[in-house]
């Protein structure tokens, strides 16, 4: 029985503005959904589940799975991938993708969700003008120098 495509795969592998160069594909041998990195000369295949907790990362290291870190680009909602060299490049607050190994259970099935952007304050919400500044602005606004 074939599995359905995970719904979060469209966020991990977007059709437009894909800075991580990830493409959703079924594995040719085991028919599991994977995220394929197509940015280099060799395609790298990852399980779509995100490793976030220490337990998942430790399990992946014990199983000798290659890890790749997901690095967010500011608050833009974009991200790129960064290779991790063994246990040295592991960060406690990082998000990781584990290498796909056919016919084995993925280390994690956690969905990928981008963090919520902090709500910005409205522009000029805390600016207070004096009465004189307001009158000067209105005078210049009504009688521009170029007209």
Domain span at residue 75 reads: 9-117
Q: Please give the Cα distance from 11 to 127 (Å, whole number).
A: 38
Q: What is the pLDDT of residues 124-140, one digit of tens each?
A: 777 888 999 999 999 99
Q: Please give the Cα distance from 77 to 93 (Å, whole number).
A: 17
Question: Per the domain annotation, does 84 fall within a domain?
Answer: yes
Q: What is the pLDDT of residues 35-68, one digit of tens each?
A: 999 988 999 999 999 999 888 998 998 999 999 9
Question: Per the domain annotation, does 143 fall within a domain?
Answer: no
Question: Per the domain annotation, does 127 fall within a domain?
Answer: no
Question: Per the domain annotation, does 112 fall within a domain?
Answer: yes
Phi/psi-derived region of residue 130, left when phi > 0, alpha when psi is between -120 and 50, beta in every other case: beta
Please tell me the total count of domains within the chain. 1
Question: Per the domain annotation, does 129 fall within a domain?
Answer: no
């Amino acid at each position: 029985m074939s599995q359905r495509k995970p719904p979060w795969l469209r966020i991990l592998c977007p059709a437009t503005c894909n800075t991580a160069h990830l493409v959703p594909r079924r594995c040719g041998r085991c028919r599991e959904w994977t995220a394929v990195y197509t940015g280099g000369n060799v395609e790298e295949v990852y399980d779509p589940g995100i490793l976030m907790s220490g337990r998942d990362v430790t399990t992946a290291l014990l199983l000798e799975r290659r890890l790749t870190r997901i690095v967010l680009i500011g608050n833009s909602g974009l991200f790129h991938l960064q290779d991790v060299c063994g246990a040295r490049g592991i960060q406690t607050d990082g998000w990781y993708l584990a290498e796909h190994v056919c016919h084995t259970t993925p280390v994690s099935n956690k969905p990928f969700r981008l963090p919520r952007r902090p709500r910005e304050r409205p522009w000029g919400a805390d600016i207070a003008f004096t009465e004189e500044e307001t009158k000067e602005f209105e005078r210049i606004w009504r009688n521009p120098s170029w007209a």
